[in-house]
Amino acid sequence: MTLEPRVSESTVDGPAIIDDLPLPGQLHSLSPTVESCTVLTTEEKNPMALKTPRRILFIASIGNPRPYRSTRHSAGHILLDALTPLLAVRMPLTSSQHQPSSGPLFYKTYLSPSYMNESGPKLIRQLTNWLSTTQTDIFERIVRPGYIRDPTSTPTPTTTTTTTSDSAPKTTHPEWHRRGTDPSTLKHLPPTLIILHDELESPLGKVRVKRGGPDQASLRGHRGLISVFESLRGKGLYPARADATAAHGELSVLRIGVGIGRPETRGRGDVAKYVLTEMSPKEVAAVRGAAGQVVDVLADEFYWEGGF
């Protein structure tokens, strides 16, 4: 399926390069619309089904540490700062009814502490550590007990008791059951690595989404992206080696760049000076303002059943 005209070049099976906010559900043909993912309160008489996640997301920003944390080259970090509180609203499912503070199991945010051109090693180490534990956590804390918690809802006066097996603990008001969600479908979820980064040459605040690595869409000399993909290749994660574990072998990569404009001149050192310049309040606001667009893309990815 070819994406809508607002996409500059892409098919669903190829690299997605999105110049503007993609329409909800536009990025993948099998994804529900964003509207269909809206969480309703339990007081409503006929709540829509609570959609089950189809992927787990590792959402990482790359940039530079202090004193360059607020420069244009660190726009990915600024974007992640603005994005994080929105994720809890759009993808609110947490681990259990009895551990509301345990946080989301289906995604993780990570702000790279490394310098841009050294982003890869630590980021991929964090990714592999998370992949090695999160699926087990989901199974032990959701699938086995048989419940899933929607922290945005409030229990109704009437309760229901349900178990998934003789040994599973009983839980009152199982939100997942009332909303048509079966935790047993969460036994295995493929991962997506999301990389948030600055996009030189793109207009300030414009979001560009590219699926895959350099073989699918050029890295355009971005040293942070080059470092990440070198580390992925070195670990056999992407492209996956034949001996990769099932979860790692299904790793998908989504690169989300936010525009930082371009220098007026192209003399020696002009680009480096430009990207390492502190952002103005107007620029920071434009980058932070892109978070609403990005969370739509991530919600689409969250329910995507494909692989690339």
Residues with Cβ < 8 Å from 305, sequence gap 6 or more? Answer: 28, 30, 54
Pairing outcome for strands 191-199 and 252-259: parallel
3-state secondary structure the chain: CECCCCEEECECCCCCEECCCCCCCCCCCCCCCCHHHCCCCCCCCCCCCCCCCCCEEEEEECCCCCCCCCEHHHHHHHHHHHHHHHHHHHCCCECCCCCHHHCCCCEEEEECCCCHHHHHHHHHHHHHHHHHHHHHHHHHHHHCCCCCECCCCCCCCCCCEECCCCCCCCEECCHHHHCCCCHHHHCCCCEEEEEEEEECCCCCCCEEEEECCCCCCCCCCCHHHHHHHHHHHHCCECCECCCCCHHHHCCEEEEEEEECCCCCCCCCCHHHHHHCCECCHHHHHHHHHCHHHHHHHHHHHHCCCCCC
pLDDT of residue 258: 98
pLDDT given for residue 195 in this prediction: 99
Check residue 161 and give its pLDDT.
36
Q: What is the pLDDT of residues 281-299, one digit of tens each?
A: 999 999 999 999 999 999 9
Q: Which CATH class is domain 7-37+51-302?
A: alpha beta
Domain borders along the chain are 7-37+51-302
Taking only the tens place, the pLDDT of each residue in 221-233 is 999 999 999 999 9
Which residue(s) pair with 252 in the sheet? 192
> What is the chain's alpha carbon radius of gyration, rounded to the nearest angstrom?
20
pLDDT of residue 249: 54
Residue 180 is predicted with a pLDDT of 56
Residues of the chain with pLDDT under 70: 1-51, 92-103, 144-183, 242-249, 305-308
